């Protein structure tokens, strides 16, 4: 059976942008930035996107296009008779970890959308939004229904195997989300006390850089936000035709993704300070901040409705790219049908998601890593460890295993003035930075280099 292909390059671009832009830009970016001191985090994150993220995005897509296979098959094809393909299992593992909590949070967003439809969020609930949200997520089955709904939608799109639906929807909803975010940013900036939020986001407190955890947090956010290191972009790249050029496409994806992250910071943080919300509230941060903004806004009920609708669609276009990673692998490796594979994978992730959801209720005392709860622990392992390791493996494959001429050809950089620069980043800079950040996070850097 011939492998599926995108209809057009634009189809690929939209699907890849859809993958990149999602809850990571709005929900995850805000709470991770809030936890890590704001401005200094933003600068590090932007630095990593430019220095590591976009070059590795190009690398990852090019591996998929060259090998025309899934995350494990591609390593087997490009580095035959080596154990390299084993690193592909980092990608499969991170897909399970990430989608099982992603579906829970996207379920929360769907619940919010529903509340704007039925009007119950047009006025503040008796217990305030923070209280109402806390009651909702700690309920034993209510949020799980929404997780199930979101996962079902994801599976339905993936088992269709046709990207037309989501591509077409993204064509409308991504621009709409962008416009809404800009409107919200201006509104948020007009609030009393907004300047404190802007200061938090744009005036770096350099002392935050002395905490080693900020580097790994910024690296993890760059990977998560760009959908990097799992093999999602690799798998999408494998459906590309050879004649589609990659460098401009990946740059476009990087710019778009960064735009959404920065603008959502401009929406969230002025409001956080104006309404006296704690910037380090963790995962619930935007779910408390946003309805408070909408309540203050003229026509906020309608804006909230459209906003959460667009957010759910952005989440769906991301979640399908995650489910596609194990689906593509198991289909090829075991010869299963797309239908059976996507339903099975999605169901396993849903069951894991039940645990994530209960982590905000009856299992709130469960802290697998340090004082991190279930969602935060899964996110930490997947985003801060598995994704960078996956990216490291891809960088080493293209930088060291392939000949330079092969690498440049695979990325359409053979005749480009930036080809040498890109190759230097992928061969040396990105791997070294990733290793240093890891050593730093586990406290080994200062052991190996005592003078630091």
At residue 220, φ and ψ (nearest 5 deg) are -60, -40
Residues 1-30 within binding reach of ligand TRP (CB under 6 A):
19-20, 22-25
Helix or strand (DSSP H, E) at 371: none
**Residue 315 beta carbon to ligand TRP: minimum distance, rounded to whole angstroms:** 7
- Per CB under 6 A, does 330 bind ligand TRP? no
User: What are the structure tokens assigned to 67, written together?
Assistant: 């090998």
367 φψ region: left (φ > 0), alpha (ψ -120 to 50), beta (else):
beta
- Per CB under 6 A, does 433 bind ligand TRP? no
Closer of 24 and 284 to ligand TRP (Cβ)? 24
Whether 432 and 389 have beta carbons less than 8 Å apart is answered as: no
* Rg (the chain; Cα; Å): 21
Q: Which residues contact 282 (CB under 8 A, 6 or more apart)?
A: 31, 35, 376
Closer of 198 and 384 to ligand TRP (Cβ)? 384
**Residue 176 beta carbon to ligand TRP: minimum distance, rounded to whole angstroms:** 17
Whether 442 and 216 have beta carbons less than 8 Å apart is answered as: no
Residues 375-414 within binding reach of ligand TRP (CB under 6 A):
387
Number of residues that bind ligand TRP (CB under 6 A): 16
**Residue 4 beta carbon to ligand TRP: minimum distance, rounded to whole angstroms:** 18
Closest CA to 234 of 21, 398, 71, 18: 71
Residues 134-193 within binding reach of ligand TRP (CB under 6 A):
none
Tell me the window of 55-63, 179-187, 316-324, 440-448 that interacts with ligand TRP (CB under 6 A). 316-324
**Residue 377 beta carbon to ligand TRP: minimum distance, rounded to whole angstroms:** 16
Figure out which of the listed residues 318, 327, 384, 393 binds ligand TRP, where binding follows CB under 6 A: 318
Paired strand residues for 369: 372
Closer of 112 and 121 to ligand TRP (Cβ)? 112
Closer of 191 and 234 to ligand TRP (Cβ)? 234
Q: Which residues contact 217 (CB under 8 A, 6 or more apart)?
A: 32, 35, 36, 41, 384
Closer of 106 and 266 to ligand TRP (Cβ)? 106
Whether 274 and 191 have beta carbons less than 8 Å apart is answered as: yes
122 φψ region: left (φ > 0), alpha (ψ -120 to 50), beta (else):
alpha
Binding mask 217-256 for ligand TRP (x = CB under 6 A): -------xx-x--x-x------------------------
User: What are the structure tokens assigned to 181, written together?
Assistant: 């975010």
C-alpha torsion 264→170→227→337, nearest 10: 150
Whether 25 and 257 have beta carbons less than 8 Å apart is answered as: yes
Tell me the window of 109-117, 244-252, 314-322, 326-334 that interacts with ligand TRP (CB under 6 A). 314-322
Closer of 97 and 159 to ligand TRP (Cβ)? 97
Residues 84-103 within binding reach of ligand TRP (CB under 6 A):
98
If 0-12 CB within 10 Å is exposed, 13-18 middle and 19+ buried, where does residue 81 land?
Answer: exposed
**Residue 98 beta carbon to ligand TRP: minimum distance, rounded to whole angstroms:** 6
Closer of 26 and 191 to ligand TRP (Cβ)? 26
Closer of 61 and 322 to ligand TRP (Cβ)? 322
The footprint of ligand TRP (CB under 6 A) covers 19-20, 22-25, 98, 224-225, 227, 230, 232, 318, 321-322, 387
């Amino acid at each position: 059976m011939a492998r599926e292909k995108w209809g057009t390059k634009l189809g690929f671009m939209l699907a890849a942008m859809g993958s990149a832009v999602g809850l990571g830009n709005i929900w995850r970016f805000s709470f991770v930035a809030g936890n890590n001191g704001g401005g200094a985090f933003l600068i590090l994150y932007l630095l990593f996107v430019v220095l590591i993220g976009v070059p590795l995005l190009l690398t990852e897509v090019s591996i998929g296009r060259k090998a025309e296979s899934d995350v494990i098959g591609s390593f087997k094809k490009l580095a035959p008779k080596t154990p390299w393909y084993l690193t592909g299992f980092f990608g499969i593992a991170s897909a399970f970890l990430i989608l099982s909590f992603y579906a829970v949070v996207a379920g929360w967003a769907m619940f919010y959308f529903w509340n704007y439809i039925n009007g119950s969020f047009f006025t503040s609930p008796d217990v305030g939004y923070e209280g109402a949200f806390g009651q909702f997520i700690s309920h034993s089955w209510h949020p799980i229904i929404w997780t199930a709904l979101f996962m079902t939608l994801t599976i339905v799109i993936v088992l269709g195997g046709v990207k037309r639906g989501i591509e077409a929807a993204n064509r409308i909803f991504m621009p709409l989300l962008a416009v809404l975010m800009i409107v919200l940013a201006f509104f948020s900036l007009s609030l009393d006390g907004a300047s404190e939020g802007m200061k938090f986001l744009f005036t770096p407190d350099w002392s935050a850089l002395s905490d080693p955890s900020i580097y790994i947090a910024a690296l993890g956010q760059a990977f998560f936000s760009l959908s990097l290191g799992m093999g999602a972009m690799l798998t999408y790249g494998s459906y590309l035709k050879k004649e589609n050029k990659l460098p401009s496409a990946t740059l476009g994806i990087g710019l778009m993704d960064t735009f959404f992250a920065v603008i959502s910071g401009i929406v969230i943080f002025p409001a956080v300070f104006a309404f006296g919300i704690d910037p380090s509230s963790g995962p619930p941060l935007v779910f408390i901040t946003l309805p408070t903004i909408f309540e203050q806004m003229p026509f906020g009920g309608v804006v909230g409705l459209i906003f959460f609708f667009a957010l759910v669609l952005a989440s769906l276009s991301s979640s399908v790219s995650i489910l596609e990673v194990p689906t593509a692998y198991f289909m090829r490796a075991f010869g299963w049908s797309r239908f059976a594979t996507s339903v099975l994978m999605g169901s396993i992730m849903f069951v894991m998601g039940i645990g994530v959801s209960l982590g905000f209720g009856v299992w709130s005392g469960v802290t697998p890593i340090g004082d991190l709860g279930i969602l935060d622990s899964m996110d930490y392992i997947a985003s801060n460890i598995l994704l960078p390791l996956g990216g490291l493996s891809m960088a080493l494959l293209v930088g060291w295993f392939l000949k330079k001429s092969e690498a440049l050809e695979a990325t359409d950089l053979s005749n480009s003035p930036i080809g040498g620069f890109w190759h230097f980043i992928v061969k040396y800079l990105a791997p070294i930075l990733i290793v240093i950040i890891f050593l730093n996070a586990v406290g080994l850097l200062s052991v190996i280099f005592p003078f630091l």
